[in-house]
Chain A
Amino acid sequence: MPKGYMGKVLRVDLSAEKWKVEELPEGVMRNFVGGNGFAAYTLFNELKPGIDPLGPENILIFATGPLTGTAFPSSGRWAAYAKSPLTTAVWGEAHSGGQWGPELKYAGFDAIIITGRAEKPVWLWIDDGEVEIRDASHLWGKDVFDTDEIIKQEIGDETVKAIYIGPAGEKLVRMACIMDSLYRAAGRCGLGAVMGSKNLKAIACRGSQDITVEKPDEFLKVVDELIVKMKENPVTGEALPMYGTDVLTNIINAAGGLPTYNFQQGWHPDAWLNSGEHMRATILIKNRGCRFCWIRCARFCAVTSGPYAGVVGEGPEYETVWAFGSNCGVFRLDAIHAANMLCNKYGLDTISTGNIIGWAMELYERGILTKEDTDDLDLRFGNHEAMVELVERIALRKGKLGDLLAEGHIRAAKKIGKGSERLIMGVKGLGLPAYSPRAFWGHALAYATSVRGGCHLRAYMIAPEVLGVPKKMDPLTTEGKAEMCKFLQDYFAFVDSALVCKFVTFALTPEDFARAMSACTGWDWDADKVLLAGERIYNLERMIQCREGVGRKDDTLPERFLKEPMPVGPAKGKVVPLEKMLDEYYRLRGWDIETGIPKPDTLRRLGLEEAAKTAEELLRR
């Protein structure tokens, strides 16, 4: 068994209230690494197409990777996977920092597979390899803060690490997330609702087992070199610790790509009020870091005056600042942090929630929603009190509008009608995050092709198009975008499977990962193998969605970005020339250009025989 891994997977059948331990097959480690790869492998083999994501047949996976919990920089992460109840993308995936990921490994497991549905609310207690399925009736209904505290009191140990859902997950709000140590979230795709649908309130871990590596001295030598790279890189070594991710607000606004008023425009003169610089001058107390992080980009803010005085906690991150900021026409950090803390408290994805509130605001301003529909909330852009109130209503399904929006864009639009679905700023049902497609064409391609839907993380094209990493690209051209998008998707798929924080990629390369993985597992990794494994994992994820009907027709963008020229700012007059980039992307990927389905040859080259057979069937139709 290679080192780095614990070699064991915990399988829990909540319907039978039974659990057992399985070996993690070495073939899975070699070919799929862990994390995303492990989940893709498991879901491809075990998830039945066509099932209800909120039903007992959905499979909920929690995974780490071989580098998680080691000295590799920023290794304290974990991820959750399942069929998404929010999106049409099928593949649901969300990563989180915090504390819990390494602890799962110290407790003896690389991953957890959860099937079925418990009869009444339960929570899992994993204590050094021993597992208990405990009654959670006293936890059900409690918010994230109380849940954390009660669990620690019940166990009698404040050092246990726990993940949990809040009331939003319990109420099957489709944008509900899973929280770690109060403030960190596995945010997207509504996986909190999947956990709630299984009546699973929390998973707590405590472990005393060692993670070992094959060549400790070599591993430390590599880590030392990587740390030097990260210290010397100005993004990971200075900008992120000082200003946090919200350092992006000013530069994205300057590039004309800060989505404002539900993506109607990409620039606003007041954007600086929401910036990381302004946060540092006002509500910031200190920075913070997830477990074992080398970057420490998290914020810790306290609002000490005004209507939101008393709001304290980690955050807000750039995405959150945008979602409850310019997207809703709000330019004050105190209201944004208040909305952020409500999302933490109830377990709600800040990106999806801010996105859908911005959508509701545009509908209200256009008269598609009236005061009767909004339960008397004056949902004009900029009304921060209405925005904060609406966050709570969505989390708790309070009132007509809260309950409606809790169903996510697509279902809400079906009920509202009146052309509201045209104004959804999402791809495959996942609300778009904080970069405007018309200002960053490569990133627009990333949105359209990301496996989980409108996501900025599978290929963070902002890195080349704004920052110049790994190389500088003009955001308003199509040249080279498809190739870079594929490269980043493959590279990041590996990073998400070795399971460490993606931000290390501002400083580290596939070669760096290969060296660390070799010293860790004892296997012979190199940069090509890293990218090949990433490509394999990405293609398998793609097949999981293709076999349920996802294809080229879904790899698209809202009409606004394809047809309406950007009205103001540096990207004025631009629309996204998507089709051209998409054609090239499919060609480079080896996918069928008409349907977007991976060609059988491509899948066979990657060693995915079963997937190739499925692709053959799909392409025959």
Chain B
Amino acid sequence: MRVHVRGFATLADLMGRDGIELELPEGSCVRDVIRELSRRFGKAIEGALLDGGGGLARFVKIMLNGRDIDFLSGLETPLSDGDEVLLFPPVGGG
């Protein structure tokens, strides 16, 4: 299945561009997206998104079709063909 992945702010810099298509096997989840990205773009991606224990780093936000994965099933949230995964580093403002 095909999943569209995009990074913002410092993550766009890290990934080199801000939007790629990933081809993933059926039954993949969000964690598999991160693994695939670090395979392509280096360990820095994993370091920016995950904490030491393999969970999502504090303040990092991953959105699946507009919903924060924390309110779905976290990194284990399953994906479907055509899903949009957005990666946000910590951001804030007014």
Contacts and interface: CB of A to CB of B under 8 A. Distances in A.
| Direct contact between A and B judged by beta carbons closer than 8 A | yes
Contacts of A277: 8-9, 12, 18
A460 B61 CA distance: 18
A467 B91 contact: yes
Contacts of A234: 59, 89-90
Contact of B92 (A235, A267, A317, A319): A235
A502 interface: yes
Contact of B66 (A297, A472, A570): A570
Contact of B94 (A233, A238, A317): A317
Contacts of A318: 93-94
**Contact size class for B?**
20 to 34
A239 B9 contact: yes
Interface stretch (B21-29, B34-42, B67-75): B67-75
Contacts of B18: 277
Interface in A184-209: none
B91 to A, nearest CB: 4
For chain A, what secondary structure do more than half of its interface residues adopt (helix, strand, loop), or is it mixed? helix
Contacts of A235: 59, 90-92
B94 A460 contact: yes
A244 interface: yes
Nearest to B58: A468
A276 B63 contact: no
A248 B91 contact: yes
Contacts of A317: 93-94
Interface in A563-589: 569-571
A254 B89 CA distance: 13
B26 to A, nearest CB: 24
B8 A472 contact: no
A506 B92 contact: yes
Nearest to A250: B8
Nearest to A467: B92
B59 A240 contact: no
A474 B67 CA distance: 9
Contact of B91 (A251, A319, A456, A476): A251
A456 B94 CA distance: 8
B65 interface: yes
Interface in B49-94: 58-59, 61, 63, 65-68, 70-71, 86, 88-94
B9 A502 contact: no
Given A317-B94, A318-B94, A472-B70, A466 B59 contact: no
A502 B59 contact: no
Contacts of B12: 277
A297 B93 contact: yes
A318 to B, nearest CB: 5
Given A238-B10, A467-B59, 19 more contacts: A235-B91, A236-B92, A239-B92, A242-B9, A247-B92, A248-B91, A250-B9, A250-B88, A256-B66, A275-B8, A297-B93, A319-B94, A467-B90, A467-B92, A469-B92, A476-B71, A503-B92, A570-B65, A570-B66
Closest 9 CB pairs of A and B: A570-B66, A245-B93, A234-B90, A235-B92, A247-B91, A474-B71, A248-B93, A239-B91, A250-B8
Interface of B: 8-10, 12, 18, 58-59, 61, 63, 65-68, 70-71, 86, 88-94
